């Protein structure tokens, strides 16, 4: 298993890796969508800006969140999108200090052109998503080799984060953990290591579960894990697991499907059961504001990366809170923090819901 005393924080390295996606949004926003020109005469509403760009809500949210995180855009007191002073100086066509031409050189790159196409089409690259729907189009996970490589890559990141997750979560009163889309199983393994009375069920596709079985055998924990090959969208919990873990899974899906997943598993919780969401959260927005967060900047970059390969994005703290609340759960106000901008948010099923 993992030696938790020797792990160095991976956050900066992952931030540097993902930063290129924020650069792609900057070039796209300066060239194809030209926010400097579009906003030159003053602020516009989110809806009107979307209309001028000709893009869907997810694309607009990812793009404008990235530009706000880069401090070239902001939301004013009237909930309109406007250029910051910094943005006006660097992006307005008539500014003597504008960097439009220099930034625009980035549009010569193939990666930026792919990002622009994805923003225009509101779909992952090549229309192939890294998520699975039984009744949807092609998924990269249909290919066993791609799925195996992706699962092991995600396991590498999880090994850097899972020990901190186990330290932050108290599952001492729980007997059964349901790991939704748990793939490699690293989070379950670390929690089983810490809590000897805990058992786990990992739900995923066949290829990821092969990797999870391999890792569980290496850790000597196979006898405490059920490996369940099933569709997470329709899975029915037979174990009455007290805790459902959704680790870096909801951001793969559209907001609609993410909300459905939370409701689906909340409806199967026993009294006092809980759902734990582990993910990187964007900052909340004020009530009534357009769906544009201001950061953190590394999470805005991560959101752009996810946008490029799946149907989701990073969600804001208030969005995750509303997912849990709408599913009938009481949201814990305490948000746990782990490396790589990971946040732990818990929603509890109250006993009164079953009275």
For 61-99, the DSSP string reads HHHHHHHHHTTSEEE-TTS-EEE-HHHHHHH-TT-TT--
Nearest to 33 by CA among 12, 62, 11: 62
Please report the pLDDT score of residue 188 as a whole number.
98
Q: What is the tens place of the pLDDT at every residue in 100-119?
A: 999 999 999 999 999 999 99
pLDDT class of 353 with cuts at 50, 70, 90:
very low
**How high does pLDDT run on average in the chain?**
93
Please report the pLDDT score of residue 337 as a whole number.
97
What does the DSSP 8-state code read for residue 332? P
Answer with the residue of higher pLDDT: 6 or 289: 289
Q: CA 344, CA 197: separation in Å to the nearest integer?
A: 22
Give the number of other CB atoms < 10 A from CB of residue 339: 19
Q: CA 160, CA 344: separation in Å to the nearest integer?
A: 15
Q: CA 151, CA 48: separation in Å to the nearest integer?
A: 40
Q: CA 290, CA 64: separation in Å to the nearest integer?
A: 10
Residue 218: CB partners within 8 Å, gap ≥ 6?
none
Q: What is the tens place of the pLDDT at every residue in 241-279?
A: 999 999 999 999 999 999 999 999 999 999 999 999 999
What is the pTM (predicted TM-score) of this model? 0.94
Interstrand relation of 336-338 and 342-348 (parallel, antiparallel or unpaired):
antiparallel
Which segments within 281-340 are labelled E, that is strand?
Answer: 330-331, 336-338
pLDDT class of 174 with cuts at 50, 70, 90:
very high
Residue 45: CB partners within 8 Å, gap ≥ 6?
79, 80, 81, 290
Q: What is the tens place of the pLDDT at every residue in 198-246?
A: 999 999 999 999 999 999 999 999 999 999 999 999 999 887 899 999 9
Q: CA 303, CA 306: separation in Å to the nearest integer?
A: 5
> Would you kindly state where each structural domain of the chain is located, as residue ranges?
11-127, 144-281+316-354
Cis peptide bond upstream of 296, omega within 30: yes
Angle at 271 between CA 267 and CA 277, to 5 degrees: 60
Total H helices, total E strands in the chain: 13, 10
Please report the pLDDT score of residue 355 as a whole number.
41
Considering Cα of 122, then 127, then 130, then 132, what sign does the dihedral take? Answer: positive
CATH number for the domain formed by residue range(s) 144-281+316-354: 3.40.50.150
So what CATH class is 11-127? mainly alpha
Q: CA 244, CA 246: separation in Å to the nearest integer?
A: 7
Which segments within the chain are labelled E, that is strand?
Answer: 73-75, 81-83, 176-180, 199-204, 225-229, 243-247, 274-280, 330-331, 336-338, 342-348
């Amino acid at each position: 298993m993992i030696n938790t005393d020797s792990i160095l924080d991976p956050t900066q390295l992952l931030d540097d890796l993902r930063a290129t996606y924020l650069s792609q949004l900057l070039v796209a926003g300066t060239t194809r969508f030209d926010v400097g020109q579009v906003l030159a005469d003053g602020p516009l509403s989110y809806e009107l800006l979307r209309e001028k760009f000709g893009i869907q809500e997810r694309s607009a949210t990812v793009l404008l969140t990235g530009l706000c995180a880069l401090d070239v855009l902001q939301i004013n007191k009237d909930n309109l999108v406007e250029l910051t002073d910094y943005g006006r100086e660097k992006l307005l066509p008539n500014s003597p200090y504008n960097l439009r031409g220099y930034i625009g050189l980035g549009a010569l790159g193939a990666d930026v052109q792919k990002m622009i196409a994805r923003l225009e089409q509101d779909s992952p690259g090549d229309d192939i998503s890294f998520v699975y729907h039984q009744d949807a189009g092609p998924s990269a996970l249909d290919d066993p080799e791609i799925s195996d490589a992706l699962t092991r890559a995600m396991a590498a990141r999880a090994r850097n984060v899972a020990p901190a997750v186990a330290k932050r979560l108290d599952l001492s009163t729980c007997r059964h953990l349901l790991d939704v889309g748990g793939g490699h199983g690293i989070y379950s393994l670390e929690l089983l290591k810490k809590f000897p009375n805990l058992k786990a069920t990992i739900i995923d596709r066949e290829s990821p579960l092969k990797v999870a079985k391999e890792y569980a055998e290496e850790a000597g924990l196979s006898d405490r894990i059920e490996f369940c090959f099933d569709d997470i969208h329709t899975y029915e919990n037979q174990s009455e697991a007290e805790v459902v873990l959704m680790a870096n899974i909801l951001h793969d899906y559209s907001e609609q499907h993410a909300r459905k997943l939370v409701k689906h598993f909340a409806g199967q919780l026993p009294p006092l059961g809980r759902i734990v969401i582990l993910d990187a959260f964007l900052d909340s927005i004020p009530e009534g504001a357009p769906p544009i967060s201001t950061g953190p900047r590394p999470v805005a970059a991560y959101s752009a990366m996810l946008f490029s390969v799946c149907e989701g994005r990073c969600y804001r703290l208030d969005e995750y809170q509303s997912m849990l609340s709408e599913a009938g759960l009481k949201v814990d106000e305490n948000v746990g923090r782990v490396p790589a901008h990971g946040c732990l948010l818990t929603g509890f099923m109250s006993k009164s819901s079953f009275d």
